[in-house]
Chains A and B, each alone.
Chain A
């Protein structure tokens, strides 16, 4: 249970490179993707569907970078991701 240290690190680092706001939504709960502590406390299980919500000037670039991370599968995670972009 829970997102592991390594993917949480990569997620928050990647999101942190961009100016836009990045939120992860899980079960109606939404947390800041730039905060590793928030990601760790998210309590997502493997296979959980997570939504990414990106808002801001470089939203598309951020989304691309994050999607790439998920597609590469980090190391162990196989979370499916659904994305939604608002600008």
Chain B
């Protein structure tokens, strides 16, 4: 049994067989072999090399015949790579000395070369990484592997990987993958958001561990505590199965409070909305008592696609969302692409500092054609639904005004084309850049609502990359600096009579949601899965408790002190929930 501690990013417990995804997306069922099997493993590797070489020879002949010598020469070089004895020695050493499986040895060595070529800073060299990946693919196929996308007949597995992109995560087959753990990553990355949206238990930031996976082992993944147990013993399995039962009971209990209002004991009403990525999440949101959609992240329409989704496709998707919410309101956020969410088709040049670069509204305003298409689709879908449009990552009034001007143009254009004009569309902005908080009294004159995106606000306030495990501890919503920005935002919005909500992850944690209510926030938007427990927490406290928390936190100097206080207070107020979380 081997226990690892990572960062819990998506709640839930899963027990299943491991499935290792190598860096190039190939599934490997194990990374380690018994030392007694080393001889067989070496034979297996040699057989596979011979087989792969035969296949490449065939490809070479076929393509030379059909296409010409130039393409054939590529396969010839691939074959030469495959037969390179330098590589053979490296593979064999990992199998003999470190008991790596043949697949893992191949993938480890070739990934290292590919990585080195990619980082040489020349396009020619980077292309070579692609060649190496091709050779790896051929050899892994000869070893019996298959790309994850075509994997069939697997039981329910837990995916283990170095890292996963948001798009890869969204593409996981929920019926086969019941959770995932990665070596890299931190809390609040977009991969984590997608995992929560899919209700897929996940632990990230485990550090290097893939090389320690023994043959087809079972793994326990605890998405609450961040613990991962490899080759669990009977006692651990029993313990976790029991916990899963208890949790299943609690989930049932939470579903029961679905139709009760989110109201504190002394009658303060809080509106709970859901954050969604896909129209498919609406049913789950309503089931968990969401009173509307507080954040529809439209970029996921783009991320999964090979080409930019057309106006028609988008109109259909947005109408589908509106038709499913049963007359409730939906805040649609315009494209928030860039940084770690780059679509397959966007023509972004690599930036040295993507989080501070051309992303989100900046990218949209730079490529107004894309934003225009999206706004047209939103306006067209708006008829007959309560659609609100929200612009992300606004830093300056100029950006807000330009975006609003585009929207006005689009509305006029559509009216001229004979489309039925929508009723007034409410327009708002995300407050997630400290500059926007500092200028908020000017912003609130020009918007109908604001929504605080705590994830980015924390990142930009603390200047800490939330997915970098080395600085992830700086990234804290309860940091006194962040709390001050939140308080300012609420005060300014309330004074101006502008609706304010919080849609970042701070609202989904029961204890920080109480803090936000104490600060004066009355609309919280969170992932559907976290709504029931937020409601449960709210229904057990008085507004006075929340206000007291919100006052007290300003006495502390450091995030650590605030955190300790919040935990203690939570345990006092909600002992039952504190035990479970």
Identify the A interface with B (CB < 8 A): 1-2, 4-6, 8-9, 12-13, 32, 34-38, 40-41, 43
Q: Complex Cα distance A9/B84, Å?
A: 10
Residues of B near A38 (CB, < 8 A) are 84, 86
Contact B124–A12 (Cβ < 8 Å): no
Please give me the residue from chain B that is nearest to A13 by CB atom: B80
Contact B77–A8 (Cβ < 8 Å): yes
Give me 17 other A-B pairs in contact (C-beta within 8 A), A1-B120, A4-B124 excluded: A2-B122, A2-B124, A5-B73, A5-B74, A5-B77, A6-B73, A8-B77, A8-B80, A9-B73, A9-B77, A12-B84, A36-B77, A36-B80, A37-B84, A38-B86, A41-B113, A43-B120
Contact of B216 with A by CB under 8 A: no
Contact of B131 with A by CB under 8 A: yes
Contact A36–B84 (Cβ < 8 Å): yes
Max chain B C-beta neighbours (<10 A), residue from A2, A12, A40, A43? A40
Contact of B87 with A by CB under 8 A: yes
What is the size, in residues, of chain B's interface with A at 8 Å between Cβ atoms? 19
SS class, residues of chain A in contact with chain B? helix
Contact of B128 with A by CB under 8 A: yes
State how many angstroms separate the Cβ of B94 from the closest Cβ of chain A. 15
Contact B122–A35 (Cβ < 8 Å): no
Q: Complex Cα distance A38/B88, Å?
A: 13
Residues of B near A5 (CB, < 8 A) are 73-74, 77, 128, 131
Residues of B near A40 (CB, < 8 A) are 117, 128
Contact A1–B86 (Cβ < 8 Å): no
- Knowing A5-B74, A13-B80, the reply to whether A35 touches B125 (Cβ < 8 A) is no
Residues of A near B5 (CB, < 8 A) are none
Instruction: Give 1 or 0 for each of B103-133: 1 = CB within 8 Å of chain A CB.
Output: 0000000000100110010101100100100
- Knowing A1-B125, A9-B80, the reply to whether A32 touches B86 (Cβ < 8 A) is yes
Contact A36–B81 (Cβ < 8 Å): yes
Please give me the residue from chain A that is nearest to B77 by CB atom: A9
State how many angstroms separate the Cβ of B53 from the closest Cβ of chain A. 13
Contact B124–A1 (Cβ < 8 Å): yes
Please give me the residue from chain A that is nearest to B122 by CB atom: A1
Contact of B85 with A by CB under 8 A: yes
The residue that A37 contacts in the complex, of B81, B120, B124, with Cβ under 8 A, is B81
Q: Complex Cα distance A1/B125, Å?
A: 8
Residues of B near A41 (CB, < 8 A) are 113, 116
- Knowing A2-B125, A41-B116, the reply to whether A35 touches B84 (Cβ < 8 A) is yes
Residues of A near B73 (CB, < 8 A) are 5-6, 9
Contact of B329 with A by CB under 8 A: no
Please give me the residue from chain A that is nearest to B88 by CB atom: A35
Q: Complex Cα distance A32/B81, Å?
A: 13
Residues of B near A43 (CB, < 8 A) are 120
Report 14 cross-chain contacts, Cβ distance below 8 Å, ordered by A residue.
A1-B122, A5-B77, A6-B73, A6-B77, A8-B77, A8-B80, A9-B77, A12-B84, A32-B86, A35-B86, A36-B84, A37-B84, A37-B87, A43-B120
Residues of A near B156 (CB, < 8 A) are none
The residue that A12 contacts in the complex, of B80, B117, B131, with Cβ under 8 A, is B80
